[in-house]
Structure 1
Amino acid sequence: MSKKRVGEVFGDRLRVRVCGICLMDGGLLLTEHKGLGPQGRLWIPPGGGMQYGESAEECLVRELKEETGLEIAAGKLLFVHEYINAPLHALELFYEAKITGGSLTKGIDPELAENEQIIQQSKFMGQEEIEGLNKELRHEILKRYTDPKDITGLRGYFRFR
């Protein structure tokens, strides 16, 4: 899917996204998406848009299952990040996510057709592997914080430019 198409599907509106900070064996669960970021690829913690009538915690459980195949329990709200990169504008709520079942797989975005899927892979990455990624391929939080333990300690509201 092209960046233009991503903008058509997800852009020009404010979205509330719920994202999971999930650690296992010192690694942070990340999902690679195409059609996002300046280089057309972006590694981000898994998550997605809330649906009308859905709680943030319900959204987190649903989105992680869709994107990674993992069943999780939503933990506490850690921090909020405001992402603005036209045509995308999102308030991202980051929660702790604790694995309760399932197995890690490449998931899907059900709102996209089969030939438009943007998820490339999901995997746990340690600090060295995150730091080894070009900064342009990382979510804004990952450009500033690469140690998964530091990310779980973040609190507050962030908006980076």
Structure 2
Amino acid sequence: MNPLHNEVLTKFGNQLRVRVCGLCRQQDQLLMVRHRGLSETNTFWSPPGGGVRFGETSAQALIREFSEETGLVIDVGELLFVNEFIAPPLHAVELFFRVTITGGKQQLGTDPELEADNQLIDEMKFMSFEEIKHYLPQEVHSIFQQCQSLNDLFRLRGYLN
């Protein structure tokens, strides 16, 4: 088994996680981060975000996660939708918020739960919807199967799975 994949399963598997994710749009592009090690073979593109810590609000968690992953400072806007991700042994309830950049410097960050030489995030960039949809469904977050455009993504509401 891939060592990073094994570490991901050990740290995040077999538990229910609450995650926050930020949809950060600039013109016709969305900020995305690419993770490796979430499966044996694939990398995975997703909006920035991560787990909520005990005693932390969702907004505080999203501000922290954005800073850790992207170097950016954000304002957290409205809650757009909730997505439930179940792919045993991973299970997460994900809260998706609209976010706006207010400062910081865009730079590839780290995941403090993992060792420095075994990081999940290996790329970050703004991507057009067409570029996102160019990837195979298993290579991008499942929310992109729920919409046909970037505008559609920001119109999603309610509970998705």
Match of 1:127 in 2: 129
Could you tell me how far 1:146 is from its partner in structure 2? 4.9
Could you tell me how far 1:36 is from its partner in structure 2? 1.6
Q: Do the aligned partners of 2:63 and 2:76 also contact (CA within 8 Å) in 1?
A: yes
Match of 1:71 in 2: 73
Distance in 2, Cα, partners of 1:98 & 1:17 = 18
Match of 2:117 in 1: 115
Q: Normalising to structure 1: TM-score of the pair?
A: 0.94
Query: 3-state DSSP class of the match of 1:114?
Result: coil
Percent identity between the aligned chains? 45
CA RMSD, Structure 1 to Structure 2 (Å) = 1.3
Query: 3-state DSSP class of the match of 2:113?
Result: coil
Cα 1:146/1:3, change in 2 over 3 Å:
farther
Match of 2:58 in 1: 56
The one-character-per-residue Cα deviations of 1:42-79 (angstroms, maximum 9, x if unpaired) are 00111000011100001111101110111100001000
Q: Normalising to structure 2: TM-score of the pair?
A: 0.94
- Return the match for 2:32 from 21, 30, 49: 30
> Structure 1 residue 96 and structure 2 residue 95: aligned?
no
Task: Count the aligned residue pairs.
Answer: 159
Provide structure 1 residue ranges, at least 5 long, that are not aligned to the other structure. none
- Return the match for 2:139 from 133, 137, 140: 137
Provide structure 2 residue ranges, at least 5 long, that are not aligned to the other structure. none
